[in-house]
Chain A
């Protein structure tokens, strides 16, 4: 693609493409510095224990060691956490999971660091552990946080609309099932890392791989008792995040190290094993469902009991569960719902945000329930979904009346008209020996934005430099999803400048403005909405200044072109470089804020959610999976994939498609392979040899259909598309398994071993032919 003035709705070359493929782009991990020191953490190594003593003398005496710090050395509250501040930077009294941080070591090189970490002597009194939902809720269970008033329950919440229990009794058809999903790892390429140092004026500077640089300032300030304005966070592009870098990873540890490094730069870079051990995970969950319908397939009542295992610390556990509960009924009209949730502390790794934030879990259950119901009713699963699909104006399962764009029905219709669906019976009949073929659907949705209670805001800033070029200050991280490209597209489009000439400043709390986290499908929506008026104002100023310079008295007679303003009637032009030189900084910089709209009529339920409930906007998708199952091994081969996605209008078709493709691939991993296996709190899958991600052969050709339904509040009608696609694969594959093999799987991932066991129990004859 050649440099061009970007158009909305047309693919634009990624703003970070050339710099990434040529290796010029600097990730946080690429930052070093003169006289660099290395920092590392001594981890607990037990799932639950009381710290009797931490002896640092031997480690500190090792030549090359700069400092060895323990919980007592942490100034401030020593507490981190986005909503609940329950996670120590360095543990003082007890440890609550294997990867908890007990001591921080700073050394001159990595070998010395590793040696010194091993020399920190920790004496620990082991405590009985809490290894799952049942343990956590058992009477008399050991407490993960003794001081927490809720025992091991971080959050217990209820969404109630109508009278679900009574309504269920009246339903002629009821299906009931319990599902389990495991923790999933984000498995980003660039593991958690950063570099920090203290400047002469005392300011602590962090260059860190983070999804939320502005929130990081608050975290560090709170945990270490540092003045908020004495912290600067620089957030370069990320080598992946998926939610796992939304929240403190290395930040507080690094800032603490910087306070003990005498102005030298300190680098911390978790290796893959430490990423597995100490990094955040998607919540494992148990989901109990009872769904009732009328004889014609109209959904009538739903009762769910959802249990989310948040591990040792809250992180965003309550909010993750809240979003799961809000989506528990799927994108359907259900007049009576009772959705109960328990988010519990355990001695498992800390669970937090991950693409599909609580929703990927319930989507499995909700969409299997729809197929179970279709089976019981003898109805076509697509027809059942279409009959109940939410439309604008309907009330969703959380009791919220949908006033924004709602395109799930259109997505389902696109699937229904596609040859991969209409030709499915023929295709299924062509399976070879020992193979069974199945076709499965999933209808999924995912909310956009933080939800009520937490303002979803961005401040956009655009500058015409003194040299006459555009400089765009992005305050919200790009972890690879392409929001920065969208910002360039919007600015270039409004200001008629070629994409390549626009300089993009990545988040830096000293240069860019607070714009929230790169999360919740809100990045381009919120920042884009802030950017449009800023760019329009700058355009007026540029053209206005040209009018003065060219002595033209109406702005309509002037044309803003790449690098210049032209007066077509006379043919006269003024280059932007000349024009900009006449402007003051105040004139050249435009700033605008946008605050995402929220639900006005909040339902009278879900009162336990302090923030993050309910949501106004949703992206929608319908997925179709065609799979082939090997009856001898239980192996699933995903043969074809169709995803019809509605996320408002599309700014950049290529970026949209990349999000769909990536989400489906990650979802296929979640559906068929990926599982953080735990035994008494210890991770049995500590690296990529044991934790298996899908490879290129495990992901089929993915056909992405775009269903555009304009969202009037969105920038050019768009909504966020990053998450919704991750919710479809697990249920679609499970439904395809039920279709092809007649087995109803309730535990994810759908491994070959589990499939073979289910086939064996069902007593499948085995061979696809006779001997």
Chain B
């Protein structure tokens, strides 16, 4: 039996976190419970962040959106603000797990698990998401790209929790593209994924590009080289092939039971070719 704390507000949370040894925070538990069962992780006690109202919900703030860490994927998918302003994230969320997993799992959990296969991460990287970290005495912000330091590793301090993520969408992007390759068509862990934001002018010129790949490196992979290769060009096969070749150089995938590194490298580039479908008519 394990002790599980269920704080109903931040004060109760801070008190729980001050215990020795500190209980391990979790939110959703769709990853943690699997590891508890297998014995891969075995903390003495847990503290659940799901019942703290301050950590949930979506609101407009500073021209962007603030998303509480404890907000479930299902709730985000239903949220009109997310659907209207963050279609890239919404698309990724719709491929995440299954309805039961989306009902339990949270965006904060997905971020703190820091798996390269986390489905919300490539869109949040492409959108330049910023995390908000809080402890009893402090509050700080940090770009998501800096927060995640390695597979399963973050810059979270022991006394801190992830309170939320802030995204300021640039409304001028007019292509929002997300694709995930899994072994089956739903309820599948990502083999490779691509999140892409493009601003394509009415004449077909790419004016801005943000690209992020999941599952093809220790953390989400971004490639300024591949982005650069698109700027000022059109969404033609040759242009995308060129960017694809750069992407294949930028990624550093591994072999695992789902796919080989070679396959992941190949499709990391191939996925860019799908952007041809977004050419202005």
CB–CB B273/A698 < 8 A = no
A residues less than 8 Å from B184 (CB atoms): 673, 692-695, 697-698
Instruction: Return the contact of A767 from the options B34, B187, B237 (Cβ within 8 A).
Output: B237
A692-B183, A695-B187, A771-B236 are known contacts. Are A632 and B263 too (CB-CB below 8 A)?
A: no
A633-B181, A635-B181 are known contacts. Are A756 and B186 too (CB-CB below 8 A)?
A: no
Q: A570 at interface (Cβ–Cβ under 8 A)?
A: no
New contact pairs (17) apart from A689-B34, A695-B187, A771-B276, CB-CB < 8 Å? A632-B274, A633-B181, A673-B183, A689-B189, A690-B258, A693-B184, A695-B186, A696-B186, A698-B184, A752-B183, A752-B191, A753-B259, A753-B263, A760-B266, A767-B237, A771-B236, A771-B237
CB–CB B34/A756 < 8 A = no
For B258, the closest partner residue in chain A by CB is A690
B residues less than 8 Å from A693 (CB atoms): 184
Q: What's the minimum C-beta distance from A472 to chain B, rounded to whole angstroms?
A: 39
CB–CB A632/B270 < 8 A = yes
A residues less than 8 Å from B236 (CB atoms): 771
CB–CB B267/A697 < 8 A = no
B residues less than 8 Å from A633 (CB atoms): 181, 267, 270-271
Of the A-B pairs whose beta carbons lie under 8 Å apart in the complex, a sample of 25, sorted by A's number, is A632-B273, A632-B274, A673-B183, A673-B184, A685-B257, A689-B34, A689-B189, A690-B257, A693-B184, A694-B184, A695-B184, A695-B185, A695-B186, A695-B187, A697-B185, A698-B184, A752-B181, A752-B191, A753-B263, A757-B263, A760-B266, A766-B273, A767-B237, A767-B276, A771-B237
Alpha-carbon separation in the docked complex, A564 to B132 (Å): 78
Q: B174 at interface (Cβ–Cβ under 8 A)?
A: no
Q: What's the minimum C-beta distance from A246 to chain B, rounded to whole angstroms?
A: 28
Alpha-carbon separation in the docked complex, A771 to B273 (Å): 11
A434-B273, A771-B276 are known contacts. Are A756 and B266 too (CB-CB below 8 A)?
A: yes
Alpha-carbon separation in the docked complex, A635 to B184 (Å): 9
B residues less than 8 Å from A760 (CB atoms): 266
The contact string, 1 if C-beta is below 8 Å from chain B, for chain A 603-643, is: 00000000000000000000000000000111101000000
Q: A751 at interface (Cβ–Cβ under 8 A)?
A: yes
Interface positions of B (Cβ within 8 A of A):
34, 181, 183-189, 191, 236-238, 257-260, 263, 266-267, 270-271, 273-274, 276-277
Q: A433 at interface (Cβ–Cβ under 8 A)?
A: yes
Alpha-carbon separation in the docked complex, A757 to B263 (Å): 8
Q: In the complex, which residues 430-452 of chain A have their Cβ closer than 8 Å to any Cβ of chain B?
A: 433-434
**Interface pairs A-B: 7 shortest CB-CB:** A771-B237, A697-B185, A632-B270, A771-B236, A753-B263, A692-B183, A697-B186
What is the interface size of chain A, counting residues whose CB is below 8 A from a CB of the partner? Answer: 30
For B269, the closest partner residue in chain A by CB is A632
For B187, the closest partner residue in chain A by CB is A695
Q: What's the minimum C-beta distance from B215 to chain A, rounded to whole angstroms?
A: 13
Instruction: Return the contact of A433 from the options B181, B185, B191, B276 (Cβ within 8 A).
Output: B276
Q: A57 at interface (Cβ–Cβ under 8 A)?
A: no
B residues less than 8 Å from A753 (CB atoms): 259-260, 263
A residues less than 8 Å from B266 (CB atoms): 756, 760
Interface positions of A (Cβ within 8 A of B):
433-434, 632-635, 637, 673, 677, 684-685, 689-690, 692-698, 751-753, 756-757, 760, 766-767, 770-771
A residues less than 8 Å from B259 (CB atoms): 753
For A770, the closest partner residue in chain B by CB is B237
For A693, the closest partner residue in chain B by CB is B184
Alpha-carbon separation in the docked complex, A756 to B34 (Å): 32
Alpha-carbon separation in the docked complex, A453 to B186 (Å): 47
For B240, the closest partner residue in chain A by CB is A771
B residues less than 8 Å from A673 (CB atoms): 183-184
Tell me how many residue pairs across A and B have CB atoms closer than 8 Å. 62
A434-B273, A685-B257, A767-B276 are known contacts. Are A756 and B267 too (CB-CB below 8 A)?
A: yes
B residues less than 8 Å from A698 (CB atoms): 184-185
Q: What's the minimum C-beta distance from B6 to chain A, rounded to whole angstroms?
A: 24
A residues less than 8 Å from B271 (CB atoms): 632-633
Q: What's the minimum C-beta distance from B68 to chain A, rounded to whole angstroms?
A: 28
Alpha-carbon separation in the docked complex, A693 to B271 (Å): 25
Alpha-carbon separation in the docked complex, A696 to B99 (Å): 13
CB–CB B273/A767 < 8 A = yes
CB–CB B274/A756 < 8 A = no
Alpha-carbon separation in the docked complex, A690 to B258 (Å): 7
CB–CB A434/B181 < 8 A = no
Q: What's the minimum C-beta distance from A741 to chain B, rounded to whole angstroms?
A: 15
CB–CB B189/A751 < 8 A = no
Q: What's the minimum C-beta distance from A432 to chain B, rounded to whole angstroms?
A: 8
For A687, the closest partner residue in chain B by CB is B38
A residues less than 8 Å from B270 (CB atoms): 632-633
B residues less than 8 Å from A767 (CB atoms): 237, 273, 276
CB–CB B267/A632 < 8 A = yes
Alpha-carbon separation in the docked complex, A689 to B181 (Å): 15
A residues less than 8 Å from B189 (CB atoms): 689
For B192, the closest partner residue in chain A by CB is A633
B residues less than 8 Å from A752 (CB atoms): 181, 183, 191, 263
B residues less than 8 Å from A697 (CB atoms): 184-186
Q: What's the minimum C-beta distance from B124 to chain A, rounded to whole angstroms?
A: 23
B residues less than 8 Å from A692 (CB atoms): 183-184, 188
Q: What's the minimum C-beta distance from B116 to chain A, rounded to whole angstroms?
A: 16
For A769, the closest partner residue in chain B by CB is B276
Q: What's the minimum C-beta distance from A183 to chain B, rounded to whole angstroms?
A: 15
Q: What's the minimum C-beta distance from B98 to chain A, rounded to whole angstroms?
A: 8
A residues less than 8 Å from B237 (CB atoms): 767, 770-771
Q: What's the minimum C-beta distance from B118 to chain A, rounded to whole angstroms?
A: 15
B residues less than 8 Å from A689 (CB atoms): 34, 189
B residues less than 8 Å from A770 (CB atoms): 237
A residues less than 8 Å from B263 (CB atoms): 752-753, 756-757
For B235, the closest partner residue in chain A by CB is A771
A residues less than 8 Å from B188 (CB atoms): 692
Q: What's the minimum C-beta distance from B175 to chain A, rounded to whole angstroms?
A: 16
For B34, the closest partner residue in chain A by CB is A689
Q: What's the minimum C-beta distance from B207 to chain A, rounded to whole angstroms?
A: 19
A residues less than 8 Å from B34 (CB atoms): 689
A residues less than 8 Å from B267 (CB atoms): 632-634, 756
Q: What's the minimum C-beta distance from B42 to chain A, rounded to whole angstroms?
A: 13
Q: What's the minimum C-beta distance from B187 to chain A, rounded to whole angstroms?
A: 6
A residues less than 8 Å from B181 (CB atoms): 633, 635, 752
Q: What's the minimum C-beta distance from A160 to chain B, rounded to whole angstroms?
A: 42
A753-B259, A766-B273 are known contacts. Are A771 and B238 too (CB-CB below 8 A)?
A: yes
Q: What's the minimum C-beta distance from B256 to chain A, rounded to whole angstroms?
A: 9
Alpha-carbon separation in the docked complex, A416 to B227 (Å): 51
Alpha-carbon separation in the docked complex, A433 to B191 (Å): 22
Alpha-carbon separation in the docked complex, A752 to B180 (Å): 13
For B272, the closest partner residue in chain A by CB is A632
Alpha-carbon separation in the docked complex, A757 to B186 (Å): 23
Alpha-carbon separation in the docked complex, A694 to B184 (Å): 7
Alpha-carbon separation in the docked complex, A434 to B276 (Å): 10
